[in-house]
Structure 1
Amino acid sequence: METMPNWLHKRALMTPDRVAIIENDTQLTYKELQMRSVEVANALRTKGIAKGNHVGFFMQNSLEAAVCLHALMYIGTVIVPLNHRLTASELSFQLNDAELTYVISDDELKGKASEALNDLNVSLLVYQELQKGSQELSNLEVTIELNQLHTIMYTSGTTGKPKGVMLTYGNHWWSAISSSLNLGHEVQDRWLCAVPMFHMSGLSILLRSVIYGITMIIKPRFDPHVVNQSIQHEGVTIVSVVSAMLRRMLDDLGEEGYAPTLRCVLLGGGPAPYPLLKTCEKKGIPVYQTFGMTETASQLVTLSPEYMLQKQGSAGKALFPSEVVIADNLPPGEHGEIRVKGPTVTSGYWKRNEATQEALRNGWLHTGDIGYMDEDGFLFVLDRRKDLIISGGENVYPAEIESALLEHHAVKDAGVTGIQDEKWGEVPVAYVVSDQFELSSSVLLEFLSERLANYKLPKRISFVDELPRNGANKLQRNQLTNLRETKQ
């Protein structure tokens, strides 16, 4: 049984005086972070939380949230991050499904947490109401097992009920190591976290920063101006975003460039539109496009900035020590399901044996994403299999149409989905956000017709105020048809 020291415990021993976390004007060294986490862990233990309990984490991004997560690791609980943007009924399903015994919320979210708990036999603890615990270490987990379950994290559930992805300490450890082997590891790194800690992207920043011994800068939520100011004035070297976030950051940045300290913009959430990458190249912004999922404990494939335009649209190559193939090793250029394997891959879904067996076959995770490899071994992700539109026998990828729409200077955001059609089976329809009222669907269709085959052209373009996105800013295509048009 492979073991290693608790990550925060080891880090505080190695580099106690390094700055661990910054939130506004408050900062903690690793020794201070450890002491606070131990106190909170002991306070939680007096409330009855014990090793192996499934505990819901229902807090907004904050220094206290980071302390709470480390405290739960000191107890050895299984952490179940809960998305506070969900409705009470959606949360109730996850609370029940994950077999939670406790939920920890912050002051601001305790009302919503209480509503979600309703008749469930789950205890609610409010972080700010905890009494200060002791600094005693004797009953805490200063050693971890790599095969020990660390997280049950629910997928967004765009089709059917969400599934709880089981991730071990070993999954998270290898994710951190493979990322550092690719991005490099510098002692002065500062990783900005403006993505939610209840998502894989935010949680992975928290875990990696402790393993690397670098500083995590926490923002309560994504605000393009606040993020830009942090990059310019707080020495940020790495920031994690998706395309929609980066576009808003560039709009706010205007004619300026970023401080030279910024060495990596880690870009997830699907292929980046060419104009966005071109702007980044012009401004010297180092964009690393990535492909990953909750089931792989964050990024699994990453494209380095030197290939940003040469391999435009590619997610890159698999990180150490992971592998990627297309279906049953299809030749370059042929489209098929992306399959992955490696030590960051989940062992399966909580209480979902059938779904686990369906996803994990012959040692490979069947991702449900469609893509291809080029002659040089670079992965191109086309779309989610469930989002694929089959129109008159032709495969139509929503992401390709969205990318073409975003090339138009007046389009701020775009989403595409399929609707039923008597003649073709399915046809694509588009939803566009634009601040230029004179922009029309006919202008956009003419623009698209120069870039896309006729069968890929949307049969309808609707203008809307905003697109539905989840807490990680990923587009939720299954909700597009519910949107109301803002102009005809």
Structure 2
Amino acid sequence: MQDVTTIPNWLAKRAFMTPDRVAIETGDEVVTFKELHEHALHVAQQISYYGITQGDTVAVLMSNSLSMVYVIHSLKYIGAKTVLLNTRLKAHEVAYQLKDSQTNLLICDDDLQRVGKESVSEKTLSMVTASELFKSQRKEIDVIEEFSLADADTIMYTSGTTGQPKGVIQTYGNHWWSAMGSALNLGIHEKDCWLIAVPLFHISGLSILMRSIFYGMKVMLHHQFNPKEVNEAIKEKEVTIVSVVTTMLTKMLDELAEQQYPTTFRCMLVGGGPAPLSVLKQCVVKQIPVYQTYGMTETASQVVTLAPEYSLSKLGSAGKALFPCDIRIINEQGDVLQANQSGEIIVKGPNVTAGYLNNEQKTRATIKDGWLHTGDIGYLDEQGFLYVLDRRSDLIISGGENIYPAEIENVLRSHPSVADAGVTGVSDDKWGQVPYGFVTLQSNVSKEEMMSYCESRLAKYKVPKKLFIVKELPRNASNKLLRRNLLSLVSEKSEN
């Protein structure tokens, strides 16, 4: 009997099945699946030269490029786990993730080598730039011919309520089932082309790369998001699907102006938080097929997506749970709620993470009886369509990036002049939300000094948009900070 717990090396299998089909297209290059396989094997041998073997961990600090794609696939040929690092992080943030994941080798883009060198300066691991790697010698390897669906493939760090990021383990099975769930909902068309303008170090970008292999589908890879270039690709390059967050969609609508997309474009997949109804209604007028989706790093991308036939009748809904998945709404006592009752969203399915790397306590607290407790708030209507009311109670989603206030508060409190700190999200037309900081002081400090302090310790998107000095922060009887009440200090606050 065939072992159903394994799957053939998926790129090698795809290259065998459809070798001449286009896998990736950029502005300058076109790569077939056969060529992608050959590049991945070549790079795997070069990485092996640095002593990496099956079971090791390699971190990747790179921006969207063919080079990054080659590295991602090559590590699977070796059987190494891949830690995908956000290129916007500061060196000390990278250093924490390298240490926590017990990384053996860091591969970084040439223009990120300063951050790379600073992050490994006090570590025992090695670092190599992409240009150095691709010029290095090769060492023959035994290519991994089968993947165990239960084995860890990629690790992505996501912020936590304690301020320290957690390493989300994504297995080979998680990626496979995520792709299958999406295909069963959106379908697979012969001429599909999925454009990647979101980062490959995010699950939104990586999941498209995985689907490309499974579906035998061409992806168009953009180095970074540019609304004009994305719109041109849809109109002139026969792109059929694009994944975006609300801020991206808004910019695309502005750039599109009075023009329309061709009928070949069949799906604008919107994630990263609920899209405002005003934006969705603009898309209706422009006849843009928008499908909202709900997912997270822990679910290897989508877990709920609106089906095409409900794009208008259920405007504003994230849809129903994908075919392999299930969803419930529970109250604080864990009781399952009825239709139209809001509570915590919990999800279950083969695309849900097995847990957090080296963090059994957080894993047990988040995954109970196979159900992932998201901390997000929403409700199901009578037909089972999910409406997301709020992302995690404290989470700030800014331009699709997840920001936990506690992480910023820890930095603010570490300043010698700050006695206490609180951070909350504020609605913003451009970014969806931005963080606002509130501090109490024990000695005088200028706004410029505080902002400079934050900028040197936080990724740019995490730096408070505004900083206010207040007399005291709202806390309950247990001395717990009430972040939801911070903006009520508006009459007392003074901008420093």
Quick check: TM above 0.5? yes
Q: Which residue of the other structure, out of 238, 244, 248, is the alignment partner of 1:245? A: 248
Quick one: structure 1 residues 105 and 430, their matched pair in 2 at CA, closer, same or farther if it must change by over 3 Å?
A: closer
Report what 2:8 is aligned to: 5
Q: Which amino acid aligns with 1:280?
A: C
Q: Deviations over 1:346-399 (max 9, x none)?
A: 1110111110000011221111101111111111111134338xxxxxxxxx99
Report what 1:171 is aligned to: 174
Aligned equivalents of 2:198 and 2:460: distance in 1? 11
Q: Which residue of the other structure, out of 301, 305, 308, is the alignment partner of 1:302? A: 305
The question of 1:339 aligning with 2:339 is answered no
Q: Is the 8 A contact 2:174 2:350 kept in 1?
A: yes
The question of 1:368 aligning with 2:375 is answered yes
Report what 1:196 is aligned to: 199
Q: Which residue of the other structure, out of 27, 30, 34, is the alignment partner of 1:31? A: 34
Report what 2:154 is aligned to: 151
Secondary structure in structure 1 of the residue aligned to 2:314: coil
Q: Is the 8 A contact 2:273 2:391 kept in 1?
A: no
Report what 1:271 is aligned to: 274
Aligned-residue offset at 1:8:
0.4
The question of 1:380 aligning with 2:383 is answered no
The question of 1:112 aligning with 2:115 is answered yes
Aligned-residue offset at 1:252:
0.6
Structural RMSD (CA): 2.9
Q: Is the 8 A contact 2:48 2:139 kept in 1?
A: no
Quick one: structure 1 residues 480 and 387, their matched pair in 2 at CA, closer, same or farther if it must change by over 3 Å?
A: farther
Aligned-residue offset at 1:431:
5.0
Q: Is the 8 A contact 1:58 1:106 kept in 2?
A: yes
Aligned equivalents of 2:294 and 2:357: distance in 1? 23
Q: Is the 8 A contact 1:268 1:289 kept in 2?
A: yes
Q: 1:456-467 to 2 correspondence within 5 Å?
A: none
Aligned-residue offset at 1:163:
0.2
Q: Is the 8 A contact 1:41 1:133 kept in 2?
A: no
Secondary structure in structure 1 of the residue aligned to 2:117: helix
Gap regions ≥5 residues in structure 2:
406-421, 431-453, 470-492
Q: Deviations over 1:399-456 (max 9, x none)?
A: 9xx9xxxxxxxxxxxx9x9xxxxxxxx999845458xxxxxxxxxxxxxxxxxxxxxx
Aligned-residue offset at 1:128:
1.4
Aligned equivalents of 1:483 and 1:259: distance in 2? 48
Quick one: structure 1 residues 22 and 474, their matched pair in 2 at CA, closer, same or farther if it must change by over 3 Å?
A: farther
Report what 2:444 is aligned to: none
- Alignment TM-score, normalising by the size of structure 1: 0.80
Aligned equivalents of 2:47 and 2:423: distance in 1? 54
Gap regions ≥5 residues in structure 1:
389-397, 403-414, 418-425, 435-467
Report what 2:46 is aligned to: 43
Aligned equivalents of 1:168 and 1:264: distance in 2? 27
Q: Which amino acid aligns with 2:337?
A: L
Q: Is the 8 A contact 1:289 1:304 kept in 2?
A: no
Q: Deviations over 1:28-78 (max 9, x none)?
A: 110011111101101111111111111101111001110111111111100
Q: Which residue of the other structure, out of 42, 64, 88, is the alignment partner of 2:91? A: 88
Aligned equivalents of 2:378 and 2:224: distance in 1? 32
Q: Is the 8 A contact 1:39 1:135 kept in 2?
A: no
Report what 1:463 is aligned to: none
Quick one: structure 1 residues 291 and 483, their matched pair in 2 at CA, closer, same or farther if it must change by over 3 Å?
A: farther
- Alignment TM-score, normalising by the size of structure 2: 0.79
Report what 1:205 is aligned to: 208
